[in-house]
Structure formats: C-alpha cells, structure tokens
Amino acid sequence: GHTDMVCAVLRGSGWRPEADPVVPVRDGDTLRTDGRSSLGADCNMGNAAVLWLLTRPICHGPLRLLLTSGEEVGLQGASRLDPAWLDGVRYLINTDGFKLGDLIVSSAGGRRETYTRPLHTALRQYKTAFRLTFQGFLGGHSGYDINLGRANPLKLMALVLGELRETVEYELADLTGGHGHNSIPMDCSATIVIDPPFVPALARAVAHISDNLGALYGRRDPDG
C-alpha cells in the first residue's frame, strides 16, 4: 500500500491540510468528514487492515509488508523500489482498493500532464468586472468517480468563456480552480472585464448557461 493521500479542501472552509486534523463523522455505517476536506484514509485503510491482521493468531507463510510514499504525485515511491525486495515473492496483494469484498485483477493505469506557458499581463481596456463562479459540485476521485457523469467545473468554465466570445467582448483577468492532478474539481472561478453596454448580453448568457447546467447535471450533480 501507499501512505500518502489526495487532499481536497472545500474552498473557503478555512481548513488547512498542513495543520488541521481530519474530522471524522460516523453517518450510519459510513465514515465521512465534516465536509471541509477529503477523508484522508485512502490506502492507509488497507495498510491498517494488514497491520491488524499481523497481530492476529492466523497461520500463514512468510509475509513482507511494503509501504510506499509519493504515490499520489506520480508513483514516486514505487518507481524507486529495489526489485531485490521482491525476490522470491509469489504473490503481491495491493490494498489500494475501493470496495470491501471485491478483488481487482487489472487496472487501466493513469497519466498526468502539466502544461505551462508564459503569462503576459496588460492594462485593462474595459471598465466593469464580473466574477463567474461554478461551485457546489461534488468533485470526486479521478479514477473511481470518473464514469459517474459528474461535472468538471474547470471544463465548464472553458466552455463558457468560449461561448461568451460570440456575444460579449471581454478580457480575462483571473482564472482559478481545481485541487490537484488526480481529483475532479469541485469549483472554478473566473474574473472577466467588459464594457457596460455588454452587461445585458452577459446576463442573458449566464441565464442560458444555468438552464443548460440543470438539464445536463441536475440528477448527477444536483447542488452545482
């Protein structure tokens, strides 16, 4: 198993991952957080189960417990694993699963890409600034939740900004969103600057976008 986690934080919650503890809440048979952060168990739930099993009076052959770090930032621990540590090993059990009682025999893998380009700033030409925000979306795990049809606010914002170009002249002053390479974002915000005559067109475009969002994600991501 691996020992690190993806830390998704609700924007504006005040929760600091480098200093604040995760607050667990028992909801029936489910453990969850208080909503300000992701739970943080991840593979450590499997690690804890293995450590617990090693304390039980169960007959077994020789075992090796292998815990890696840096998995969530590019499999760094696994990539530095000395193959000699696995000499003579017949079976490898990965505890990084999702469902109790299910055994995964293959995986699609994953890939991350980072794209950068120079930022060129300029004095604004227009007068009136508006903040466009997508918020309240579920987000989720980039692997396990990717097929659930949830909205990606970053992609939505890119589509919206592209469509606005057809009816509104604007300048993009700020764009912010997402929590990491491997989590579906929960929110995204952009600041655009327009000339006052374009305000009615902007209002109509936002209303149109809101209607379409309800039709597309009303069932799968109802609070967005």
pLDDT in tens, 183-219: 899 999 999 999 999 999 999 988 888 888 888 888 8
pLDDT, residue 196, reads 92
Closest CA to 67 of 87, 55, 81: 81
Neighbours of 212 (CB within 10 A): 14
d(CA 139, CA 218): 14
Q: What was the pLDDT predicted at 193?
A: 96
Nearest alpha-carbon partner for 156 in 216, 222, 112: 216
- The pLDDT of residue 41: 74
- Contacts of the segment 211-214: beta carbons below 8 A, 24+ positions apart: 213/151, 213/156
The 3-state DSSP class for residue 20 equals coil
How far apart (Å, rounded) are the C-alpha atoms in residues 121 and 198?
Answer: 23
Instruction: State which residues of the chain have pLDDT below 50.
Output: none
Question: How many angstroms separate the CA atoms of 214 and 46, rounded?
Answer: 38
Q: Tell me what the pLDDT averaged over the chain comes to.
A: 87
